[in-house]
């Protein structure tokens, strides 16, 4: 009976110590926002197809996640990333157009998140919803956890040729890092 009591107390002590270590580790976690913005300056050009009446466009920008100073500081200590918002805002457009088919993509060599739009009229101030309906934010989290540069692109067709628009894409995340690990 004494041995059983000692075993029980030993297991209880081990559980307390292990739980305490994890809680102690969480006490030193550092949490910070890492936000990224890029402007996609889009020029709609005439389609190369003789039958097409729509203009086409494709623009890609590269983002280095370590361009955020806190992200760079804790680069090797990052434990988790949570995407809080991904959004697009049309800053300028000339003339007002309709995006007949458009894809916005965030990608790296390992992961891809895409949002598709059909027949979306845009004017200055149009907000592009970049939600998590199909798990896109999960892919963006993985992209940021890969700690490598990634691409943000927009491509598609518009109902006008020779048009231009500028869209601001914003990616907001919260990062958890542990400087001790």
pLDDT digits (tens, 9 = 90+) for 1-19: 556 565 555 554 455 455 5
| 3-state SS, residue 30 | strand
In a domain, 113, yes or no: yes
* Residue whose entry in the numeric block shows the structure tokens 């990224």: 36
**Which tokens belong to 33?**
């926002």
In a domain, 111, yes or no: yes
Strand partners, 166: 41, 92
Within a domain: 51: yes
Q: Residue 138's pLDDT band (boundaries 50, 70, 90)?
A: very high
- H or E, element range at 21: helix 2-27
Domain presence at residue 132: yes
Question: Taking the model in full, what pTM does it have?
Answer: 0.83
Handedness of CA 77, 83, 85, 86 (dihedral sign): positive
Q: What is the mean pLDDT of the chain?
A: 88
On whether residue 22 sits in a domain, the answer given is no
**Number of domains forming the structure of the chain:** 1
In a domain, 12, yes or no: no
Tokens of 76: 């090797």
pLDDT at 46: 87
Does residue 21 form part of some domain?
no
Q: Is residue 15 part of a domain?
A: no
pLDDT above 90: percentage of residues in the chain: 76
The yes-or-no verdict on residue 106 having pLDDT over 70 is yes
Range of the domain at 128: 30-177
- More confident site: 48 or 139: 139
Task: Residue 122: give its domain's CATH number.
Answer: 2.60.120
pLDDT digits (tens, 9 = 90+) for 29-82: 999 999 999 999 999 998 776 666 689 999 999 999 999 999 999 999 999 999
């Amino acid at each position: 009976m004494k041995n059983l009591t000692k075993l029980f107390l030993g297991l209880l002590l081990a559980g307390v110590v292990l739980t305490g270590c994890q809680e102690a580790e969480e006490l030193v976690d550092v949490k910070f926002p890492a936000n990224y913005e890029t402007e996609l300056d889009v020029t709609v050009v005439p389609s190369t197809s003789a039958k097409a009446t729509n203009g086409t466009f494709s623009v890609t920008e590269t983002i280095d996640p370590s361009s955020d100073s806190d992200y760079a500081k804790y680069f090797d200590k990052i434990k988790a990333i949570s995407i809080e918002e991904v959004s697009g805002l049309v800053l300028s457009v000339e003339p007002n157009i309709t995006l007949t088919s458009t894809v916005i993509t965030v990608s790296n060599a390992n992961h891809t998140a895409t949002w598709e739009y059909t027949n979306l009229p845009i004017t200055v101030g149009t907000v592009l919803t970049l939600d998590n309906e199909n798990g896109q934010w999960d892919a963006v989290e993985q992209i940021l956890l890969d700690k490598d540069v990634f691409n943000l692109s927009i491509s598609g067709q518009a109902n006008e040729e020779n048009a231009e628009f500028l869209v601001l894409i914003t990616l907001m995340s919260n990062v958890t890092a542990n400087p001790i690990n």
